[in-house]
Each structure stands twice: as C-alpha cells, then as structure tokens.
Structure 1
Amino acid sequence: MASLNVGSLGEYIREQRRNAQYSLRQLAEVAGVSNPYLSQIERGLRKPSAEILQQIAKALRISAETLYVQAGILEERRGEGLELRASILADPLINEQQKQALLAVYDAFLKENAADGRPGADERADERTDEDEGKTP
C-alpha cells in the first residue's frame, strides 16, 4: 500500500473545506469531530482513521475513496475493487487491524489470479456463453 502523506492529506482537506465554504468549526460540527482534532488533521499532525475520513468526506460531499487515496490508505487504481475496499475501511464493526487483514487477503487473491493468467469476471462470463453454445441440453 502507498505510504501515508499526512501533510498533503491535511492540505487537501483544507482546500476542499474552503471550496465548500465551511469554516473549520462548521466542518468539525458537520463531520462529528472535534475542532482541535480537525485542525490537527489539516496541519498534518494527526493521522485520521478511515472512519474519520469517511465522516469528513460525507460532510464535504466528496468521495471517501478520494480521501483514502489521498491518505495513502488506498492506492489509486482504475476501479479495481475500490468500492469493496472503501466498504471494508468504513465498516465500524471491525477494527483497523482486521480491516488491513481483509484487504491483504483480497490483494493476495488478485495477485494470484493475475499470476495464473485467469481472466476477469466479464471474460469468464463470455467464455461460459461460448462453451454453452456448443452443448445441447
């Protein structure tokens, strides 16, 4: 996974907050975090959890995935499991270590499938259709 760049994350959140025309206090209130904590995030002094990033994203009306990528929690990809990853990271019922374990297992499966040269789900569906056309029920 990408390394965390807390400073640029804070700068990005500050920029998004200003674009949304929120004061620091207003965003903190809407996001449900304390004003001092949000200030520390913006200044790059704190590393927010995925849940906090999700709350901030919701308050700013931006994609949580965007903040996850900015924070280095997710690597920027072409939609490769992004929704699944975001759902895992946002799940309040499991802790951070469990979330990272689930993501590691998912990444291992993706690597295994790529190494085996296995086609993607859409290609597999096409192959089944082609094979089924030659068979009689």
Structure 2
Amino acid sequence: MPDDKKPPPTLGELIRQQRELAELPMRQFAAMVGISNPYLSQIERNLREPSERVLDAIAEHLQTSADALIGQVRTRSDKASDVVQAIERDRDLTNAQRKALVEMYETFRKVTRSERKRG
C-alpha cells in the first residue's frame, strides 16, 4: 500500500511509535507511567482506551501533551470539520468532554447522511 493510502495511525499506534522513538522498553515505560505492562500493551494495540489520567501521564513521559497526541492522530486522519477543530481547540473542555462532543457530532452527521439517502 503506498504511503499516501496508508491509514493514519491510531492513538495506541502513535503512543507505541513515540515510546519506541524514545527507546523505552514497554516494561520500563509502563512503570514510569504508573500502569501495568499488560495495560500499556492493550493501549498500544488499541484494545483499551487510556483514561484521561493515564493519557496525561503517557504524554508527560513522552515529553508532549495529551492534546498534542490526540491532535497528531486527528491531523493524520481525514481533515477534521470546522466544528471538530473548534472542539479540539477549546481549552475549557477536558479531553473526555472533547471526545464525547466529537463522538456525538459525528453520530449526528452519520444519522443525517443516512436519512438523506433514504429520503
């Protein structure tokens, strides 16, 4: 698959890539973050979503922010709508609130598109 057609990395894949770039073994990184090795493994394989606290700790030890990690995932995927970009920029919201708003917005859009196809 050519690079321009490759799907964007998920949050878990991005965390793994950043951890490997920092040359940190999984066990050591999990200990630094304060989580178990199996939990980190599940996050990196996209089997579990990290809590806001865990994502903040991961980002801190990767010398970035949770917002920057989420932003990297978003910018590597399809261009976000103006609404999603506004939600992502709003610093008065927590990461969990941003995620919930984006999920609701995307669900509303999906329902509307589906209704238009039917009608």
The answer to whether the superposition gives a TM-score over 0.5 is yes
Match of 1:19 among 18, 21, 27: 21
- Answering whether residue 86 of structure 2 is matched by residue 84 of structure 1, we say no
Q: Is structure 2 residue 27 aligned with structure 1 residue 53?
A: no
The aligned length equals 88
Indicate the structure (1 or 2) with the bigger Cα radius of gyration.
1
Query: Are the counterparts in 1 of residues 11 and 70 from structure 2 also a CA contact under 8 Å?
Result: no
Q: Contact between 1:11 and 1:42, CA under 8 Å: does it hold in 2? A: yes
Give 1:10's aligned amino acid. G
1:70-119 superposed Cα distances (whole Å, 9 cap, x missing partner): 566xx674x8773615x633xxxxxx5xx46xx69xxxxxxxxxxxxxxx
Partner of 1:122: none
Question: Structure 1 residues 70 and 37 mapped into 2: Cα distance closer, same or farther (>3 Å)?
Answer: farther
Q: Is the 8 A contact 1:54 1:64 kept in 2?
A: yes
CA distance in 2 between counterparts of 1:42 and 1:70 reads: 15
Structure 1: which 5+ residue stretches go unaligned?
1-6, 90-95, 105-137
In structure 2, the residue corresponding to 1:84 is in which secondary structure?
coil
Deviation at 1:22?
0.4
What stretches of structure 1 move > 4 A for 4+ residues in a row? none
Structure-to-structure mapping, 1:1-137, within 5 angstroms:
8-70=10-72, 77=85, 82=89, 84-85=91-92, 88-89=94-95, 99=97
| Cα distance in 2, alignment partners of residues 37 and 81 from structure 1 | 26
Taking only the aligned residue pairs, the percentage that are identical comes to 42
TM superposition score normalised by structure 2: 0.56
The letter of the residue matching 1:88 is: T
Tell me how far apart the structure 2 counterparts of residues 23 and 83 of structure 1 sit (CA, whole Å). Answer: 34
Structure 2 unaligned runs (5+)? 1-8, 75-79, 103-119
Question: Cα RMSD over matched residues?
Answer: 3.4
TM-score, scaled to structure 1: 0.50
- Counterpart CA distance in 1 for 2:10 and 2:36 is 20
